[in-house]
């Protein structure tokens, strides 16, 4: 079968129980993420910047905004490489949240040899935010699940854009196997 016969409305290009197309869902999720980063930018002006966590927050907001804005560029330009930037960003956030979950689990075992590492890394973070260990654990598990869902959605959109870019590079008409001889060209 030819690559030109690819059905872009196929069920493999839908998500959320075949309810919405991956491109539309990705645009919606990235719009919400950019709105969240916009609100985070407003919140950055309210910090007093006493600890290094606040400066990391500035870098996180800038990188997140850049990566989710690249998704729109990738969809518009049909350039799947732009979506890879966001996939790498989300993968790094998933690794961060997994590490935070492990640190929270270490906190429940105070006799652990890694307990002093956990206390050093998370102690000021928990004091600054005035939250308990359980709330911290639940928050990071929820964020990890959310990032997994977003990663899956953007990866499906990446595959769709890559497939669409590959088929748009092909010629519309198939190659002909009819050979025109030199004699027939001169007689016409």
pLDDT tens, position by position, 30-85: 999 999 999 988 888 887 777 777 788 888 999 999 999 999 999 999 889 999 99
Least Cα distance to 129 among 64, 36, 34, 51 occurs for 51
Asked whether residue 119 is domain-assigned, the answer is yes
Q: Is residue 28 part of a domain?
A: yes
User: Residues 6 or more apart from 12 whose CB is under 8 A from it?
Assistant: none
Distance, CA of 128 to CA of 139 (rounded, Å): 16
Would residue 1 count as lying in a domain?
no
Domain contains 160: yes
Task: Tell me how many domains the chain contains.
Answer: 1
- Which tokens in the block code for residue 109? 């075992």
Q: How many residues does the chain have?
A: 188
CB 39 within 8 A of CB 45: no
pLDDT the model gives residue 91? 97
* Structural domain contains residue 101: yes
Residue 166 lies in a domain: yes
Q: What is the model's pLDDT at position 114? A: 62
What is the reported pTM? 0.74
pLDDT below 50 — which residues of the chain?
1-5, 171, 173
Q: Which domain covers residue 108, as residue numbers?
A: 8-187
SS3 letters for 99-155? HHHHHHHHHCCCCCCCHHHHHHHHHHHHHHHCCCHHHHHHHHHHHHHHHHHHHHHHH
For residue 177, tell me if it sits in a domain. Answer: yes
Task: Give the residue carrying structure tokens 């654990």.
Answer: 137
118 found inside a domain: yes
């Amino acid at each position: 079968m030819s690559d030109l016969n690819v059905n872009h409305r196929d069920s493999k290009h839908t998500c959320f129980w075949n309810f919405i197309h991956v491109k539309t869902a990705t645009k919606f999720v990235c719009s919400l993420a950019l709105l969240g980063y916009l609100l985070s930018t407003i919140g950055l002006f309210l910090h007093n910047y006493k600890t290094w966590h606040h400066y990391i927050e500035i870098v996180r907001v800038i990188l997140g905004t850049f990566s989710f804005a690249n998704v729109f560029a990738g969809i518009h330009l049909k350039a799947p490489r732009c979506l890879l930037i966001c996939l790498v960003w989300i993968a790094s956030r998933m690794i961060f949240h997994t590490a935070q979950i492990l640190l929270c689990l270490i906190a429940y075992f105070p006799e652990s040899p890694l307990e002093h590492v956990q206390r050093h890394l998370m102690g000021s973070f928990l004091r600054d935010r005035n939250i308990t260990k359980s709330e911290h654990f639940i928050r990071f598990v929820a964020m990890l699940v959310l990032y997994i869902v977003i990663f899956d959605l953007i990866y499906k959109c990446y595959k769709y854009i890559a497939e669409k870019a590959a088929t748009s590079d092909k010629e519309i008409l198939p190659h002909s196997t009819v050979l025109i001889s030199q004699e027939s060209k001169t007689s016409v």
